[in-house]
Chains A and B, each alone.
Chain A
Amino acid sequence: DAGVIQSPRHEVTEMGQEVTLRCKPISGHDYLFWYRQTMMRGLELLIYFNNNVPIDDSGMPEDRFSAKMPNASFSTLKIQPSEPRDSAVYFCASRSTWGAKSTEAFFGQGTRLTVV
């Protein structure tokens, strides 16, 4: 498996524009997480899904943020409208609750978002 795949790797956008980040989890993983990395908060959990269903979105900072998982192989995180303070690295991670590595979450390489 190629691991967790995120796109784009880098995104530069103007304030007010809509931004969509994409994630393809590892095949067979039943949990998917969206994290945001900032200097102040480290890796901050935004939302996570189990079997494509959102379980906890309490970390989503504002209504401008939304996430979907239409099927087991794809998830999106959308920011509309974007603001400069949204600039950060966004990570997607997936995890299986079965098997020898069931306690480990696997991360993608991240999307570096810059809002100017």
Chain B
Amino acid sequence: DQQVKQNSPSLSVQEGRISILNCDYTNSMFDYFLWYKKYPAEGPTFLISISSIKDKNEDGRFTVFLNKSAKHLSLHIVPSQPGDSAVYFCAASSPSGTYKYIFGTGTRLKVLA
């Protein structure tokens, strides 16, 4: 049973426009969320995170929004750049103290020049 879901396997966006990647989760006990980026033949690398006590976190061109009532989070990239083309994974931390991350299936973003 997939506790973290990314329902869009792929997304194409024009360079300079906004990319919005979505993620849904089922466990209301999740209290920490992260986004990882993965290039081909490399391991995932951390991008941005958000705690459940916040509804927004921003880092440069990347902003993560959290809607706890809807059990939904999204990653916004503005403006999108060709170098952002990668697979993006959403992850959620299981209830505090267990330190493990549950990942989604990933969304492949392609930014068109």
A and B interact physically: yes
**Shortest distance from the beta carbon of B99 to any chain A beta carbon, whole Å:** 6
When chains A and B are docked, how far (Å) is the Cα of A105 from the Cα of B44? 9
Any A CB within 8 A of the CB of B59: no
- For window 90-111 of A, CB contacts with B under 8 Å fall at 91, 93, 95, 97, 103-110
Count class of interface residues, chain A:
20 to 34
Contact between chains at B89 and A42 (CB < 8 Å): yes
- For window 1-55 of B, CB contacts with A under 8 Å fall at 2, 6, 32, 34, 36, 41-46, 49
Contact between chains at B103 and A33 (CB < 8 Å): no
Contact between chains at A109 and B41 (CB < 8 Å): yes
Q: Which of B41, B44, B91, B99 contacts A91 (CB 8 A)?
A: B44
Contact between chains at A43 and B43 (CB < 8 Å): no
When chains A and B are docked, how far (Å) is the Cα of A107 from the Cα of B91? 14
Given the contacts A42-B6, A103-B34, A48 and B41 also touching, CB distance less than 8 Å: no
Could you name 16 residue pairs across A and B whose Cβ atoms are closer than 8 Å? Answer: A31-B99, A41-B105, A44-B103, A45-B102, A48-B99, A48-B100, A55-B98, A55-B100, A91-B43, A103-B34, A103-B93, A104-B34, A106-B46, A107-B44, A107-B45, A109-B43
